[in-house]
């Protein structure tokens, strides 16, 4: 009987939770997509022979990875307006902070992927007359990206869960929706347990997609 009442209660709240879930997925997809672009450049910069570029990339990666995401969100949402003189919408602040955070982690993934490629391939390409940028674009990066799919999948899952922190700036993603519900109904366990299951379903689904992508890439490599 207790389970039936819980299911009935959660069913009534599903429309609200569905709205929050969609926003969570949207934030995660945008953040990881932009983070992938940022991280690719930062990862390549981390391996650059140019000292200035290498130092800037290292400072960015170390600062972001060495500070809490919650602080970064508040810094963008509350600190940046103090500098630019006007408020930043919560959605924009969430996208900027999450993307910058994701970029730092993706940068290390990309760097490791590039370094995993045999150096002889770079030397062979250069001996054929290809420039460094051409070799990176057509030879090294395509191979590296195949190898970094599993850790990128893990980054997507991590960002999916970490996106719950944007609830502190009142952005109504899944966690914020849950907070609004249980502060009104005084049933925190019921709604938070339901939210936990939703997060679990999303993370397991993404894990399955990553495994499927890995299998497809192995098949393509053998053909």
Q: What is the mean pLDDT of the chain?
A: 90
Q: What percent of the chain has pLDDT over 90?
A: 70
222: confidence class by pLDDT, cuts 50, 70, 90: low
Domains and CATH numbers, the chain: 2-222 (1.10.3720.10)
Residue 76: the pLDDT is 97
Distance (Å, rounded) from C-alpha 48 to C-alpha 132?
11
pTM of the model: 0.90
The H-or-E segment that residue 211 falls in is helix 188-222
Residue 156: the pLDDT is 94
Q: pLDDT tens digits, residue range 106-132?
A: 999 999 998 888 877 777 887 777 877
Q: pLDDT tens digits, residue range 166-210?
A: 999 989 999 999 999 999 998 999 999 999 999 999 999 999 988
The H-or-E segment that residue 58 falls in is helix 51-65
What are the φ and ψ backbone dihedral angles of 160, each rounded to 5 degrees? Answer: -55, -45
Residue 4: the pLDDT is 87
Judge contact between 132 and 150, C-beta under 8 A: no
Residue 1: the pLDDT is 47
């Amino acid at each position: 009987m207790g389970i039936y009442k819980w299911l009935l209660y959660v069913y009534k709240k599903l429309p609200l939770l569905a709205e929050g879930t969609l926003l969570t997925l949207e934030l995660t997809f945008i953040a990881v997509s932009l983070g992938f672009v940022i991280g690719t450049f930062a990862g390549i910069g981390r391996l650059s022979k140019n000292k200035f570029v290498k130092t800037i990339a290292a400072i960015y990666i170390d600062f972001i990875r060495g500070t809490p995401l919650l602080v970064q969100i508040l810094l963008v949402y509350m600190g940046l307006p103090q500098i630019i003189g006007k408020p930043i919408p919560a959605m924009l602040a969430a996208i900027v902070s999450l993307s910058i955070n994701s970029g730092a982690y993706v940068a290390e993934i990309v760097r490791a992927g590039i370094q995993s490629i045999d150096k002889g391939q770079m030397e062979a390409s250069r001996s054929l007359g290809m420039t460094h940028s051409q070799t990176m674009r057509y030879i090294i990066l395509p191979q590296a990206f195949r190898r970094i799919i599993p850790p990128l999948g893990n980054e997507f899952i991590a960002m999916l869960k970490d996106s719950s922190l944007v609830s502190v700036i009142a952005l109504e993603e899944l966690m914020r929706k849950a907070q609004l519900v249980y502060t009104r109904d005084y049933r925190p366990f019921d709604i938070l347990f339901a939210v936990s299951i939703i997060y679990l379903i999303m993370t397991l689904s993404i894990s399955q997609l990553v495994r499927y992508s890995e299998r497809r890439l192995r098949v393509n490599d053998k053909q």
